[in-house]
Structure 1
Amino acid sequence: MVKAVQSEMVKHTLQEIYHRGGGFPRKPYVLALLTYHMIGMEPGFSYLKEMQKDTITLRLTGENSLLAKMELRELIKAAGNDDWIPQACLGEEILREIDGIFLPILSFSLVNDLLSLNEQRPFVRLILEALLKGKKIVALKTGADPHDPYWKMKGMDKGPALLKRTMLQQLVQLKSMGIILISKNEKADFKPEENKKTVISKETIRNAHLHNQTEIRIQGGSIITPLARDMAKELNILLKTF
């Protein structure tokens, strides 16, 4: 691995330590989900490298089927980021921690499984749960937009009108589901909505207790109800503001 790539995971770990110590505000935590695409993955990888320059903590994960086609070392090098989470480690804890999900490669199968709500596919289940919990999902539309110049560059812009129309209709449906679609020239925005205040209720504390959490990290400006404070004290759950 290249030295510059190796530094990403170390940098994110140090940032988390400094944040916990009150060093500086926490950056939005974004998880990029990598899937295989028949037209190639270069646009997604290029975009990921640009995202490293933004004020976010970007971590990567990939489907097992992708790792059957590309070695992990290749993926890390292509994306310019070694902060990798194996698919097997994706669960409730990751979902609670992330602020958003980025889809750099919209493959046909991923689009189809999302629209058919195929929760049996781990990535689709994670995306659907994130949407239902109000997390931001941003997708680079290159892989599913037949009019994107990349398709012409690959010599795959000569498909029938019906096929192209179907692909465009699917993009409209994804947008209707709450997925933000962007082109390669647009910036993926994962900043939290400042005007939207989170309410920490008694139910929030109860759920944390059921999941064996001893600490809840709360964004500054959030509203904590008196009953929530009392229950947190009673259950020895620390309410930590960032």
Structure 2
Amino acid sequence: MMDEELIRRVMEEVMRRIRQASDETTADSAPATPRSSVMAIFTGGTIGREEGLAALKELQEDACHLTVVLSRAAETIIGAERVRQHLGEDVTIVTPDSPYPGKALRQADLVIVPVLTQNTMAKLAHTLSDTLPTTLIMQALMLGKPVIAAENAADPRDSWRAGLEMDKAPIVLVRAFQENLRKVRDFGVNLTDVRNLGREARRALERSHAGGREAAAPQAAAPAKKNLVDAEKIKAVALSGGRVYTVAPGDLITPLARDTARDYGVEIIRANT
């Protein structure tokens, strides 16, 4: 007959290994909880498109939930299928034919524009919200959400345009484009090179989460303001026919005020806390 102590130890080891295998299976199968929600808005340009998709992939690997919005032109130039090839089948894609993503916008911690075209930039600079991207960007700004846009496609002096020999515009036109960029920047959009898009996005998310923790932290109650009750205040009450002067719990009453109250027949009452 086997020793009972030996049997007990064998059973404990078997149960330990079963629990360990179960925990490992659960950990492997459970999807990572998204830490942040990001809305990415593509307009119909090609400059910086691939770099923008790469930046979104990095954010996705950081456990960010992505909602990708495609303008009508972006549907043709980029396409939902290309987005899914880069970001997976489960990514949420919104087009102009989809229901308006108001809820997704409100839940977003950050709005990114990986490709900001000159056309969209001009509309934003003149506060025109006649397309899905411009409406979402303007509403994001009005909701106080951080907005980051890659400026390469909108910048007339960008190196990519030079490589395509599209940097020969008259100086007046160049200045007009640059003025639009300035206006958009002044509206609160963080314009950056698309190659820095991922880094700027992570910084914005860190600031957003830090701000949320500060807002959630309990604030120390401000000390109650103390008023000084002097003889003049008591006299004013008496001369107006009053017979009672109520003071707040923290108010300070001068000795002369007490004497004046006694002389004028005014009763000083301290309010309850």
TM-score w.r.t. the length of structure 2 is 0.57
On the 8 A contact 1:37/1:143 being kept in 2, the answer is yes
Residue of structure 2 equivalent to 1:36: 44
Paired AA for residue 14 in structure 1: P
Within-5 A mapping of 1:11-160: 14-16=31-33, 27-37=35-45, 41-54=49-62, 56-77=64-85, 79-82=86-89, 83-87=91-95, 88-160=98-170
Deviations 1:202-241 (A, max 9, x none): xxxxxxxxxxxxxxxxxx5378xxxxxxxxxxxxxxxxxx
**Secondary structure, counterpart of 2:162 in structure 1:** helix
Aligned 8 A contact 1:43 1:142 in 2: no
SS of corresponding position for 2:194:
coil
Give yes or no for the alignment of 1:179 onto 2:175. no
Change in Cα spacing, 1:159 to 1:72, as seen in structure 2 (3 Å) is same
Corresponding position: 1:221 with 2:217: yes
Map of 1:8 onto structure 2: none
Farther-moved stretch of structure 1 (94-103 vs 35-44): 35-44
Separation of aligned partners in 2, 1:46 and 1:122 = 23
Shift of 1:180: 0.6
The Cα of 1:30 is off from its aligned counterpart by: 0.8
Contact 1:37 1:108 in 2 (8 A): no
Structure 1: distance between partners of 2:31 and 2:147: 26
TM-score by length of 1: 0.64
Specify whether residues 195 and 97 from structure 1 end up closer, same or farther in structure 2 by C-alpha distance, changes over 3 A only. closer
Q: 2:210 aligns with which of 188, 194, 201?
A: 194
Query: 1:169: which partner in 2?
Result: 179
The one-letter amino acid of 1:221's match is: A
What does residue 239 of structure 1 align with?
none
Q: Compared with structure 1, are the counterparts of its residues 222 and 132 closer, same or farther at alpha carbon in structure 2 (3 Å cutoff)? A: farther
> What residue identity is the alignment partner of 1:118?
L
For structure 2, the residue ranges without an aligned partner over 5 or more in a row are 1-29, 220-273
Q: Could you list the per-position Cα deviations for residues 143-202 of structure 1 after superposition, in whole angstroms to 9, with x for gaps in the alignment?
A: 111222111122212222222221111111111001011113432232215246687xxx
Distance 1:70 1:179, change over 3 A: closer
Q: Letter of the 1:194 partner, please give it.
A: A
Identify unmatched segments of 5+ residues in structure 1. 1-12, 17-25, 200-219, 224-242
Cα distance change, pair 84–91 in 1 and its aligned pair in 2 (3 A): closer
Higher helix share: 2
For the aligned residue pairs, the C-alpha RMSD in angstroms reads 2.9
CA contact (8 A) 2:116 2:149 kept: yes
